[in-house]
Amino acid sequence: MAAGQVQLRVERVAKQFGGVTAVDEVSLEVREGEILSVIGPNGAGKTSLLNMVSGFYKPDRGHILFEGEDITNLPPSRIAELGVARTFQNIALFKGMTVLDNLMLGRHVRMKAGVFASFVYWGFAQKEEIAHREKVEDLLEFLKLEDLRKMPTGALSYGLQKRVELGRALALEPKVLLLDEPMGGMNQEEKEDMARYVLDVNEERGTTVILIEHDMGVVMDISRRVVVLDRGRAIAEGDPKSVQGNPAVIRAYLGTKASGKKAA
Amino acid sequence: MFHRESGYYKTSYAADMALYPLPIARWTVAAVALATCIAPFVLHEYYVSILNLIMVATVGALGLNILVGYTGQISIGHAAFMSVGAYTAANLAVRLDLPFWVTLPAGGLMAAAIGAIVGIPSLRIKGLYLAIATLAGQLIIEWTINHVPWISGGAQASIEVPRPTLFGTQLKTQFQLYWFLLFFAVLAIVGTLNLVRSRIGRAFIAIRDQDIAAEIIGINIFRYKLLAFAISSFYAGVTGVLYTYYLGIANYEQFQIVTSIDYLAMIIIGGLGSILGSIFGAIFVTLLPIVIRLGMENWGSFLFGDADIRNLIPNLRLILFGGLIILFLVLEPEGLNRLWRNIRSYFRVWPFSY
């Protein structure tokens, strides 16, 4: 898997909330087709960084470029349209809707029917619905959700909800997929399934993946590169092995002897 | 025989996405359609006039439900948008002598434009605050129409409008108006059914359920909220035009804040986010005062004197109305539509209870 050219460039972005610096001059280059993991202790600024990439936060300083275009100040819906999809740490599905409708909504930006076409339905809108339904069915098959397609997502288990959310993000046919703790709260088996899906998406569709994850086993297994954040700063970057042995990283996670903290 | 899915196999996505996938549902719709076609021939003119009112109310209730029930944005200005449609059409019909097929969409479009403007605050504010903002819209529009003679036609702020003409005949009787109104009511029902099951409607529901998630999948929330206001107001405008043609006069008194509340009551009692519920609600709220009046006139004398009855009828309506809204909010927040579905699913699983 040869890494392509730089697809997403984060240039010295900084974000403060009141007196707290959440992200402090972080720069990042994400190459086309790679799996990049962002790790770090709680409160390191991982999610804040992701929120800036997807447009929910506007950075105080710095720029974010996607395929050469400055997306720093674009609204989230526009960034999604460009091909950046994401999932949330604490699942943001449409709970009353079925799995199918959630995924169909994921295709919103790829569909075109306007008010008039929707009102008339028979004709353009119906044809479009069927065409996109076929794509969604492919996804349901890929994620093994076929038998649940008419279930309201609120009734599904936590692990399945995370899978549906991945499906909704994939329905957008993203170029870059931002995953915020996709394995949080899962058991070992569910984690393995999710890791397999992420790898498959990356390999079969060539989708770039940016992953925030706390499970070090998963991170070390599937990522090509790892970036470590601590207190808003990027303290290390490299392939999983080198990061693992990096003294700064060990210090960030375990503390130093002088501070008297014990390893957890 | 019952509303059961079992045994019907769909072989295409089109069949799976049909409005009424089950034969029994299609038969029900056909039966209702047949009844609506026979009704004006067998019913007395007075009852036909009630059906006409129900059909007008249905269009308005559907519009409000798109905004409140499906998109989750509250509006207390629905009646004001109706008045915008009514006065636009009345002015066009009287001054320029335009036919209904011009004034009707014109009234709708004008209402949509004004509605979108009133909806602008919805980007920043939600819930109660949005309710107050739309209330302000209602009052401003009401005042403007009442105080600008150029719009309201001067005396009593009312404009007499000739009844619509179709194929050279003027629709004067309730029987003739019935078919005129039925056409638009059916158009509104089918159109709304289509709208909420395709791309635009799904986006509305997404905004109602989870606005952050809606944004992350590429729905421009502001644009869609304004669109919901515009579509809802378009329906309201059309309702106003239909009502004006029905009454033969555009009068602001028909579109005051009480009417806005009536329409909110329709969708709450009928069922938020439900098309069948909008129809149920329109029927219920239109019939309620009529039933109360008939009941009091016929049986009220057992309890009250004649003078009391005349005082009681309008007030009883308000009391029952308030009571029913509370009752529904507490006992069946999903409205009549939910009751109907409960009945249906009882038979669906019969003879078992699960």
Interface predicted TM-score (ipTM) = 0.90
Across the interface, which of A56, A105, A117 has its CB nearest the CB of B202?
A: A105
Determine the residue type at B314.
P
Q: Which residues of chain B register pLDDT less than 50? A: none
Nearest CA in chain B to A90: B213
Residue of B nearest to A78 (CA): B218
Name the CATH code of domain A6-83+174-254 (choices 1.20.210.10, 3.60.21.10, 3.40.50.720, 3.40.50.300). 3.40.50.300
Out of A96, A115, A120, the one facing B227 most closely (by C-beta) is: A115
Q: Which of B254, B275, B99 is nearest to B188 (CA)?
A: B275
Q: What is the b/e burial string over A232-263, where b = at least 16 CB atoms within 10 angstroms of the residue's CB?
A: bbbbbbeebeebbebeebeebeeeeeeeeeee
Residues of A in contact with B194 (CB under 8 A): 118-122, 125
Q: Residue A224: phi, psi to the nearest 5?
A: -90, -40
The alpha helices in chain A, defined as continuous H runs, are 46-53, 76-82, 99-106, 115-120, 124-142, 158-171, 188-204, 216-222, 240-245, 247-254
The pLDDT, as a whole number, for residue B181 is 95
A residues 85..104 contacting B (CB < 8 A)? 85-86, 88, 92-97, 101, 104
| Best B19, B195, B202, B334 residue to mutate vs chain A (most A CBs within 10 Å) | B202
pLDDT one digit per residue (tens) for chain A, 264 residues: 445 789 999 999 999 998 889 999 999 999 999 999 999 988 899 999 999 999 999 999 999 999 999 999 999 999 999 999 999 988 999 998 999 999 999 999 999 999 999 999 999 999 999 999 999 999 999 999 999 999 999 999 999 999 999 999 999 999 999 999 999 888 999 999 999 999 999 999 999 999 999 888 899 999 999 999 999 999 999 999 898 888 888 888 877 765 544 444
Closest CA to A57 of A111, A97, A17, A92: A17
The pTM of the full predicted model, rounded to 2 decimals, is 0.91
The CA R_g of chain B, rounded to the nearest whole Å, is: 21
Helix (H), strand (E), coil (C) string for A130-155: HHHHHHHHHHHHHCCCHHHCCCEHHH
Give the chain A residue whose CA is nearest to the CA of B212: A92
First to last CA, chain B: 18
Q: Does B74 touch chain A (CB under 8 A)?
A: no
DSSP letter at A34? Answer: -
Query: Looking at residue A1, what is its pLDDT?
Result: 45
Query: How do the domains of chain A map onto residue ranges?
Result: 6-83+174-254
Residues B211 and B223 sit within 8 Å (Cβ to Cβ): no
Buried b (16+ CB within 10 A) or exposed e, A75-96: bbbbbbbbbbbbbbeebbbbbe
Question: Which residue among A75, A96, A113 places its CB closest to the CB of B199?
Answer: A113
Domain ranges of chain B: 43-349
| Among B11, B17, B184, B199, the residue to mutate for chain A (most A Cβ within 10 A) | B199
Measured CA distances, B231 to A173, A224, B262 (Å):
30, 49, 19
Put simply, whether B217 touches A (Cβ < 8 Å) is yes
**Beta carbons within 8 Å of A103's beta carbon, 6+ residues apart:** A136, A139, A140, A164, A167, A168, A171
Contact status, residue B78 vs residue B60, Cβ threshold 8 Å: yes
CB atoms B195 and A130 under 8 Å: no
A227 Cβ neighbours under 8 A, 6+ residues apart: A28, A36, A37, A38, A39, A234, A236, A237
Whether residues B218 and A94 touch (CB distance < 8 A) is answered with: no
Please tell me the distance from the alpha carbon of residue B281 to that of residue A24, in angstroms, as a whole number: 56
Smallest Cα distance from A223 to chain B, Å: 24
Q: Cβ B216–A92 below 8 Å, yes or no?
A: yes
Cβ contact (<8 Å) for B209 and A76? no
- Cα–Cα distance for residue pair A41/A214, rounded to 1 Å: 8
Substitution target in B11, B186, B198 with the highest count of A β-carbons within 10 Å is B198
Amino acid at residue number B123: L
* φ, ψ for residue B296, nearest 5 deg: -70, -40
Answer whether B195 sits within 8 Å of A115, measured CB to CB: yes
- Cα-Cα end-to-end distance for chain A: 36
DSSP state of A98: B
Report the distance separating Cα A108 and Cα A97, nearest Å. Answer: 15
Residue type, B195: L
Cβ neighbours around B304 below 10 Å, total = 13
* Chain B partners within 8 Å of A134 (Cβ): 13
CA B185 to chain centre: 9
Q: Does B44 touch chain A (CB under 8 A)?
A: no
Bridge partners of residue A211, in order along the sequence: A37, A179
CA of B327, closest CA in chain A: separation in Å?
Answer: 24
Q: What angle in degrees, to the nearest 10, is found between the helix axes of B45-65 and B221-247?
A: 170
Q: B205 and A94 in contact by Cβ < 8 A?
A: yes
- Residue whose pair of structure tokens reads 């991945």 in the numeric block: A166
CA separation for the pair A77, A97 (Å, rounded): 20
CATH code at B43-349: 1.10.3470
Minimal Cα distance from B227: which residue of A?
A115
Question: Do the chains contact at B220 and A92, CB–CB below 8 Å?
Answer: no
Decide if A32 touches B, using CB distance below 8 A: no
Nearest CA distance, A103 vs chain B (angstrom): 10
Cβ under 8 Å to B: A residues 197-216: none
CB contact under 8 A, A113 and B209: no
Contact B13 A109 (CB under 8 A): no
Task: Look up residue B79 and give its amino acid.
Answer: A
Residue B202 contacts A where some CB pair is shorter than 8 Å: yes
Contacts of B108 in chain A (CB under 8 A): none
Beta strands in chain B (DSSP E): 158-160, 165-166, 169-170, 249-251
Is residue B18 within 8 Å of residue B24, measured between CB atoms?
no
- Could A172 and B217 be called an inter-chain contact, meaning their C-beta atoms sit closer than 8 Å? yes
Residue with tokens 């009046």: B293
Pairwise CA distance, residues A186 & A189, whole Å: 8
pLDDT at A257: 66
pLDDT for position A244: 86
In angstroms, the CA B182 to CA B56 distance is 9
Half-sphere exposure of A191 (CA within 13 A, CB side): 16
Rg (CA), chain A: 19
Contact A77 B213 (CB under 8 A): no
